[in-house]
């Protein structure tokens, strides 16, 4: 594997670990909030993280086998054909947190998603090839959508004390 490809693989490993942490955070938040719309928002964000883990894992397998870059959609389709691997989706118990604060959790989620946007923007600059750039640009777009949704929820909770609820459309496609 070339040094350039090795750097890409390292970035994918970091992305997989980051998405795992995000998944766990959103699952804990979903379990801990008492608001049904809050649960819906956090559960949808957790599902999005699963999708990202699957896409990254699929791309990782392709690149470490010296196969070509996949588009986001190709990686998603390949992942959809496979069974989830326990390593990707740890079967750790998710416990409700006492004294959970919805607003604080959303603020943490907002920072998490902003960091993801920045990380993927940096990857766009580092990779070569149209497919690789398009892959990371798609992730920037998705994560920016998460930032907008979370910010809207923060604004709603801070201003009205009510959750908006997750958008009817998916930000993933």
Residue position matching structure tokens 């942490």: 21
Per-residue pLDDT tens listing for the chain (173 residues) = 455 667 888 999 999 999 989 999 999 999 999 889 999 999 999 999 989 999 999 999 999 998 999 999 999 998 876 555 444 555 566 667 778 889 999 999 999 999 999 999 999 999 999 999 999 999 999 999 999 999 998 998 887 766 766 554 345 55
Q: Is the CB of residue 16 less than 8 Å from the CB of residue 85?
A: no
Per-residue pLDDT, 100: 85
Per-residue pLDDT, 86: 44
pTM: 0.82
Per-residue pLDDT, 169: 38
Q: Name the DSSP class of 103.
A: H
What residues contact residue 10 under an 8 Å CB cut-off, 6+ apart? none
**DSSP string over 33-55:** ---HHHHHHHHHHHHHHHHHHHH
Report CA dihedral (53, 54, 55, 57) to the nearest 10 degrees: 80
**For residues 34 and 96, what is the distance between their CA atoms, to the nearest angstrom?**
10
The domain made up of 3-160 is a member of CATH 1.20.1260.10: yes
**For residues 46 and 137, what is the distance between their CA atoms, to the nearest angstrom?**
21
Per-residue pLDDT, 99: 81
Domain range summary for the chain, segments of one domain joined by +:
3-160
Among the residues of the chain, which ranges form H helices?
A: 3-32, 36-64, 72-81, 102-126, 130-160
Residue 15 tokens, joined:
């992305």
- Report how far apart the first and last C-alpha atoms of the chain are (Å, whole number): 31
What value does the CA radius of gyration of the chain take, rounded to a whole number of Å? 17
């Amino acid at each position: 594997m070339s040094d350039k490809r090795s750097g890409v693989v390292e970035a994918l490993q970091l992305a997989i670990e980051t998405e795992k942490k995000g998944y766990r955070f959103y699952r804990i938040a979903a379990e801990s909030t008492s608001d049904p719309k809050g649960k819906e928002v956090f559960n949808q964000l957790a599902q999005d993280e699963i999708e990202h883990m699957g896409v990254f894992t699929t791309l990782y397998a392709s690149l470490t086998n010296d196969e070509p870059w996949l588009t986001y959609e190709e990686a998603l389709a390949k992942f959809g054909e496979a069974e989830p691997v326990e390593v990707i989706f740890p079967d750790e118990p998710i416990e409700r947190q006492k004294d959970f604060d919805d607003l604080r959790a959303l603020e943490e989620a907002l920072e998490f998603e902003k960091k993801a946007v920045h990380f993927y923007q940096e990857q766009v600059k580092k990779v070569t090839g149209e497919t690789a750039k398009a892959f990371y640009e798609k992730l920037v777009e998705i994560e920016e959508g998460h930032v907008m949704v979370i910010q809207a929820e923060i604004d709603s909770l801070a201003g009205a004390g009510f959750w908006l609820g997750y958008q009817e459309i998916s930000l993933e496609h």
